[in-house]
Structure 1
Amino acid sequence: MNKFEEQEYHKRFDFDLWKKIFSYIKPYKKYLLWLAVVMVGVAGIDAIFPFMNKIAIDKYVVKDDINGLYSFGVKYGILVIIQAINVFFFIAIAGKIETGVAYDVRKRAFKRLQELSFSYYDKTPVGWMMARMTSDIRRLGETIAWGLVDFVWGFSMMVAIMGIMLALNWKLALITLSVVPILVVASLYFQKKILTAYRKVRKINSKITGAFNEGIMGAKTTKTLVREKENLEEFKGITGKMRHHSIRAAIFSSLFLPVVLTLSSVGTALALWYGGEGVVKGIITYGTLVAFLNYTVQFFEPVRQLARIFAELQSAQASAERVLSLIETQVEIEDAPGVIARYGDTFNPRKENWPSLKGDVSFVNVSFSYQGGEKVLKDFNLDVKAGETVALVGETGSGKSTIVNLICRFYEPTGGKILIDGVDYRKKSQLWLRSNLGYVLQTPHLFSGTIKENIRYGRLEASDEEVIKAAKIVNAHDFIINLKDGYDTVVGESGSGLSTGEKQLISFARAILANPRIFVLDEATSSIDTEMEQIIQKAVDKLLEGRTSFIIAHRLSTVRSADRILVIKDGKIIEEGNHNQLLKRKGYYYRLYTNQFIEEEKPECCQAN
């Protein structure tokens, strides 16, 4: 399991956090206004009905007089129709607010994910991000929209009922409402317990989502290592904790509502006791007593609803904390304000100001260490001329991938600087640099869709002819046209419908279509068999011609074609030269060569010796 742990939250009710969340409602001000008007109308009519019943009892039932009853019935019916219309509108408006807010928050969170640096993805499991983007945001949308509906209705209803009750008989009203202070104290106690439990529930939910993701992505490994039983036990352990804390949260919520119900029953009993005495003594009318009993029940119904909303807010705050922690995550690699003003940012590029890129790359006393880790590079220096092909070889962990990741500005030096065409690349736009980069990974990633769409991903405006031309350059055209649907063949999730070699060829075509000035091959042919490698090697040689290229080498054929080979050990260049020069020295490269590549190139090895 991943050792990543989420941030812990301790505040009882964070008004600043909810202020930020409710800022996402601003675009829906008009709908909020109409929703408030409709809900006040709903509450007002709900409060009028018991008063209408009082009139009916005192005027028609007690007096045994039906004069005017017909017109009274028409008025009552009109109120019912208006209330039905109100209900229709508040459901429609609240639904629009719910979906709109969820859409806006999810879009903002996804935008932040596009902006975040590689280091965030290094330390954050995919499943945990998925939990934020799906269930947490959905919970927020529901709570904000429908919680607002119930809050406005409940508050308006309580105010209206209190006003009418005080107007009818202020003494009886005060006696009936005497239980409210006790209810406030109970609410303050339970809210802390509920919030703590729900925070743990949401946190464990992320772990469950992460476990699902790992289980699906690692299904083949699980089966080959016969880990099904152990994985099930680990998953049962996580879900067991989820069950425990969910039950605990449910218990506190279930205790809270009965407390409210009990206090409301006490209020009703007080109204019946003292109101009944008033009727017997002739102080109040029978209709007034019935109205008070109805109002007592009605008054504590919105109190119960507000108590439920309060409990849901505790749960939703845990989701809100997690979503905002993503949205407010600081981007580690940012362009300076002056750079953004001139060259634009990732989503608003000013390409008219972008300079052409020649391809000179220089490391000047560069140092780098990953967060919380040892230094990978220290005072590293390197000069690469435009159009030069440089291979990086060395043992695992020597710093090869770190060097190319720094060139791509996926990370930035912790000391020194990197120059592109003689200028510190932090003085230029990240998007400008990456628009001039081609990067082919050891394990190519294809997106769900067709082969044509995956190749065009390198340059969305490319024509079909350009897509086909790129495929032909890497010798992918022949295998593509032999597929059932040719370039319109759906590759499946992550390219599951294709072999590793075929996926690699498509990733090459995608990179070529972007026409980069700097090219990075990160062990790009290590997963391809010898026959497939021969197919693409000639295309690679043509592709790299005239471009500044960095190759993290695995196969000997790729190493031999490089203009310069750098042997990296512990973040330092210990040997440098072309293939033949380094073999003649019989140093570290020679030992790597004989140990790692002799089985592939035995004839050349013997000649070298």
Structure 2
Amino acid sequence: MTKDKSSQSKSKHLQRFHYTQDQAIEKPFNWKQMLRLLAYLKPYAKTYLPAAIIAMLISTAVRLIVPILIGKVAIDVAINEQNVTMLTYLVVIIGILYFLSYAGNVFRIKWVNILGQNVIYDIRQHLFSHVQRLSHRFFDSRSAGSILVRIMNDINSLQELFTNGIINLLMDVVTLVGIIVILFVLSPKLALAIMVILPLMFYLTTKLRRMIRRSWQQVRIQQSRMNSHLNEGLQGMRITQSFSQEEENSEYFHGVNRDNFLSWKEATKKSAMFRPFVELSNAIGTVILISYGAYLILLGENNGGIAIGTFVSFAFFVGMFWEPISRLGQMYNQMLMAMAASERIFEFLDEQPNVQEKKDAYVFTDMKGEIVFDRVGFSYDEDRIALYDISLTIQAGETVALVGHTGSGKSTIANLISRFYDPTKGKVKIDGYDLQEVQLDSLRQSISVVLQDTFIFSGTIMENIRFGRPEASDEEVIQAAKVVGADEFIQRMVNGYETEVEERGNILSAGERQLLSFARALLANPRILILDEATASIDTETEVKIQAALAKLLKGRTAIIIAHRLSTIREADTIFVLENGCILESGNHDKLMKQGGEYYRLVKSQFQMLDAI
């Protein structure tokens, strides 16, 4: 009984992670999408691509010419006539031809690899640049791991297609067509007899097409799930260790890893079925060649048969015939993998920002900072309404505070000002301009946002402060840090401003990271400054420094301060109290305290908590 309860408990633990999962994309294999993928070759259509094709044609031409020289010239003519001079010339010519083939292959491999790496670089750059422009709704519904899989793994899956696949496909098609033409010229009867097996082979491989394609799609989905778990597991490692959940995490990863393993196993097993079909066809073709070819030799050329040299040439070409077919089968699998990956890549590239920018959008050149919410409503989805009919005006240079319980709509108002989302109804205006009519870059370059969980990039402290204004000088960076009180702790570090911070700034305390974010915001010199719980992670001593710095930071700027710690907003010009997406009351601190409403109750409850401590 105890064991059953333990296993049930463990089963529940293993279900604790829930990700927004990628779904299989059910679309037919279409050449329009493949042509769209091949369009990335266009920039190289006059350089590496034609050079690789010429090199391929040279090596392919040699492979087609040599069997004819051996069979029809060397055996049927030179050996029959015992012409040693002709045989000597043939040996020299064949040697030269093989040298040309070798040179062609060397340059083909070199140029297709350069071509492939350039195309992969372009696709990855295009996808990343596009994803950066997508709206917050896109990231709300997808994990970082699943996005990472598409930018890295899915694009890597195209590497083989562009470095070898395309040129090899052309080479195999040219080789195959050339062999078929030559075989029918040499002996139509024997050619037809050998190729009788082809319809059956194509029928069987066609039947496998959808099954193999779906298998590779499943591989991509399982990889996305595994990367999502890895991303979350690594970022939350401290929480995992603090709750001693390493074993449960390992068991969950075992399940995800096994699903990924099984999907690869299934896909490779189905893909491997191509080669046996080709080998079977090769075996049947060889039997037909030997039996029927021998009969035609015995029949004699005068009676509709063939010469021995023709049979030898046939043997060469039949051996070569199944090789490109086998590679084409592998190439087909490769194309299926590429299609599965490209479908997922194009799904992101076809994603359009929910926040659209008009072509003739107004460009802010000298923003004053007046903000107006005109009967604004907003919902993240049908069941999650965040704001109801909000109307408010924030004068340029005014400091406004938004207070209220969690989920009251404070951060949503900040997100609408930065136009990370568009309102469901009503309008948000700055300096009288509807934000939906404004160029996004000019808007966001005039706004700085400081969050509670500030993000520090890997690099130096100097680079992190300079992030919002890359052209700023070192002196300007240091001055910004001094204003917000960050210079003191930076100077204590061994390398000062050139200190390398680890990923997410893990070598810094929460307060130090927050001070850097204040310096970053100040250096960007915004007209509108949004502080979203920006002092929540700062200790009392540091908060005193910040309060002194805030006067300089907010001077001449429109400021929106979101805070649960009400001591930080006492000096705000206007305080808006929100509850369930509505404005309950507004006014300065003294006015709201005299009213004895919700703000008064929030302040009293907070001071009671401090007294209890």
Q: Give me the TM-score of the superposition, normalised by structure 1.
A: 0.94
Distance 1:602 1:257 in 2: 77
Distance 1:28 1:320 in 2: 20
Contact 2:60 2:101 in 1 (8 A): no
| Residue 41 (structure 2) pairs with residue 25 (structure 1) | yes
SS at 1:301 equivalent: helix
Contact 1:359 1:387 in 2 (8 A): yes
For 1:47, the equivalent position in structure 2 comes to 64
Shift of 1:599: 4.2
**C-alpha offsets along residues 434-474 of structure 1, whole Å, 9 cap, x if unaligned?**
11101111011111111111111121111111111101100
Q: Map residues 479-558 of structure 1 onto 2, 5 A cutoff.
A: 479-558=489-568
Letter in structure 1 aligned against 2:347:
S
Residues 27-36 or 130-139, more deviating: 27-36
Letter in structure 2 aligned against 1:296:
V
For 2:267, the equivalent position in structure 1 comes to 249
SS at 1:416 equivalent: strand
SS at 1:443 equivalent: coil
Q: Which of 448, 465, 472 is residue 455 of structure 1 equivalent to? A: 465
Shift of 1:584: 2.7
Letter in structure 2 aligned against 1:384:
I
Shift of 1:169: 1.1
For 1:304, the equivalent position in structure 2 comes to 326
Distance 1:499 1:167 in 2: 81
| Residue 334 (structure 2) pairs with residue 317 (structure 1) | no
**C-alpha offsets along residues 195-242 of structure 1, whole Å, 9 cap, x if unaligned?**
011111111111111111011111011111222122222222222222
Shift of 1:601: 7.4
**C-alpha offsets along residues 120-167 of structure 1, whole Å, 9 cap, x if unaligned?**
111110001110001111111321331112111111101111122112
Contact 1:253 1:311 in 2 (8 A): yes
For 1:607, the equivalent position in structure 2 comes to none
| Residue 576 (structure 2) pairs with residue 566 (structure 1) | yes
**C-alpha offsets along residues 315-369 of structure 1, whole Å, 9 cap, x if unaligned?**
1111000001111101111111221xx64xxxxxxxxxx4311111110000100
For 1:403, the equivalent position in structure 2 comes to 413
Letter in structure 1 aligned against 2:473:
S
| Residue 608 (structure 2) pairs with residue 591 (structure 1) | no
Distance 1:200 1:35 in 2: 34
Distance 2:158 2:326 in 1: 21
For 2:133, the equivalent position in structure 1 comes to 115
Contact 1:40 1:152 in 2 (8 A): no
Change (3 A) 1:541 1:598: farther
SS at 1:574 equivalent: strand
SS at 1:334 equivalent: coil
Contact 2:378 2:423 in 1 (8 A): yes
SS at 2:158 equivalent: helix
Distance 2:383 2:117 in 1: 43
For 2:53, the equivalent position in structure 1 comes to 36
Distance 2:25 2:464 in 1: 42
Q: Map residues 403-482 of structure 1 onto 2, 5 A cutoff.
A: 403-482=413-492
For 2:404, the equivalent position in structure 1 comes to 394
Q: Map residues 177-326 of structure 1 onto 2, 5 A cutoff.
A: 177-282=195-300, 283-326=305-348
Contact 2:21 2:225 in 1 (8 A): no
Distance 1:309 1:444 in 2: 48
Structure 1 portions without partners, runs of 5+: 344-353, 604-609
Distance 2:418 2:451 in 1: 13
Letter in structure 1 aligned against 2:322:
F
Contact 1:368 1:375 in 2 (8 A): yes
Residues 161-170 or 206-215, more deviating: 161-170
For 2:587, the equivalent position in structure 1 comes to 577
Letter in structure 1 aligned against 2:37:
I
SS at 1:528 equivalent: coil
For 1:348, the equivalent position in structure 2 comes to none
Q: Map residues 137-216 of structure 1 onto 2, 5 A cutoff.
A: 137-216=155-234
Letter in structure 1 aligned against 2:579:
K
Contact 1:556 1:597 in 2 (8 A): no
Distance 2:138 2:409 in 1: 20
Shift of 1:587: 2.0
Q: Which of 340, 353, 356 is residue 331 of structure 1 equivalent to? A: 353
Distance 1:305 1:443 in 2: 53
Shift of 1:58: 3.1
For 2:14, the equivalent position in structure 1 comes to none
Q: Map residues 97-136 of structure 1 onto 2, 5 A cutoff.
A: 97-136=115-154
For 1:606, the equivalent position in structure 2 comes to none
Shift of 1:74: 1.1
Residues 540-549 or 33-42, more deviating: 33-42
For 2:20, the equivalent position in structure 1 comes to 4
SS at 2:501 equivalent: coil
For 1:350, the equivalent position in structure 2 comes to none
SS at 2:157 equivalent: helix
Contact 1:555 1:597 in 2 (8 A): no
Distance 2:512 2:34 in 1: 50
Distance 1:433 1:477 in 2: 30
Aligned residues with identical type, % of pairs: 39
Distance 1:214 1:62 in 2: 76
Distance 1:477 1:232 in 2: 43
Shift of 1:517: 0.8
**C-alpha offsets along residues 371-419 of structure 1, whole Å, 9 cap, x if unaligned?**
3432211211011111111111111111110011111111111100011
Letter in structure 2 aligned against 1:438:
S
Contact 2:149 2:224 in 1 (8 A): yes
Structure 2 portions without partners, runs of 5+: 1-16
Shift of 1:61: 4.6
Letter in structure 2 aligned against 1:27:
P
May I ask how many residue pairs the two structures share in their alignment?
Answer: 591
Residues 563-572 or 29-38, more deviating: 29-38
Letter in structure 2 aligned against 1:25:
L
Shift of 1:67: 2.9
